[in-house]
Amino acid sequence: MKAIILAGGKGTRGKPYTEYFPKAMTPINGKPLIDYIVKYVKSFSFIKEVIIISDFEGSGGQIKNYFGDQKNITFVQDSQSGTGGDLLHIEKKLKDESEFLLWFVDNLCAVDVKKMREFFKKKNSSACIATRTKRKEETGFAVVENGVIKEFKEKPVMKLQLSECLGVYILGKEVLKKIKVKQKQKQINLSYDILQQLSKEGKISAFDIEDNEWMDVESPMVLERNEKMVKKIIKQMGF
């Protein structure tokens, strides 16, 4: 099984930091974000190769320079044709794979890829997305009755009405076939152009990460603000 790491985003939410380095190189305890993700996915014995997609002709070159010629890491230039277009771009590298892992680089989480893969197969799905049904809020809440505050809840863990989707997917061959049908489009968005229809056909499973923490790493500021959570996630990842 191969793991694809999408690290080609412009990092607009991370400005001004991402004007100097790509989001994938956001530092965490002296190491870039992408280093943790690569080491984590490689810790699963069935992951035989990691393919990193980024703008290596631009700031993404920092990623390539960081890893150098490490074994089983392949670098592919961003196709600039959307998330679906990027997968079509590396179709030949996935021709012998029945399924593959897709990880958006700004997702920091100890997703149990082994269990997720088993769940994907059990559900006989075309795609499986890591989800969560609860999260710890960053702000305080209050219990209100008749316009009167009865109690304060400081940064509570909230049960979500809708499952929140993380940027960690396991995708089967059928997804690539669906993308290929739309190859004439200049931009192919994986979620809206491909997965939306598959969801209506009941072909996408949801793997709940349960009590594991997840963070959308926008910028160093987000990491600094959530220092305790970052440490917890890194520990869950085994580092």
Q: Model confidence over 64-88: pLDDT tens digits?
A: 999 988 889 999 999 889 999 999 9
Whole-model pTM over 0.85:
yes
Structure confidence at residue 116 (pLDDT): 98
Is there a domain that residue 155 lies in?
no
Contact 202, 159 (CB under 8 A): no
CA 184 to chain centre: 26
Is there a domain that residue 125 lies in?
yes
CA-CA distance, 223 to 32, in Å (whole number)? 12
The domain of 95 spans: 2-133+162-236
CA-CA distance, 166 to 213, in Å (whole number)? 11
> Which letter does DSSP use for residue 88 in this model?
H
Give pLDDT < 70 ranges for the chain: 9-19
Is there a domain that residue 144 lies in?
no
Is there a domain that residue 175 lies in?
yes
CATH number for 206: 3.90.550.10
Q: Model confidence over 148-161: pLDDT tens digits?
A: 998 888 887 778 88
SS (H, E, C) 146-162: CCEEEEEECCCEEEEEE
Is there a domain that residue 21 lies in?
yes
Q: Tell me the two tokens of residue 198.
A: 């598959």
Structure confidence at residue 211 (pLDDT): 87
Contact 1, 48 (CB under 8 A): yes
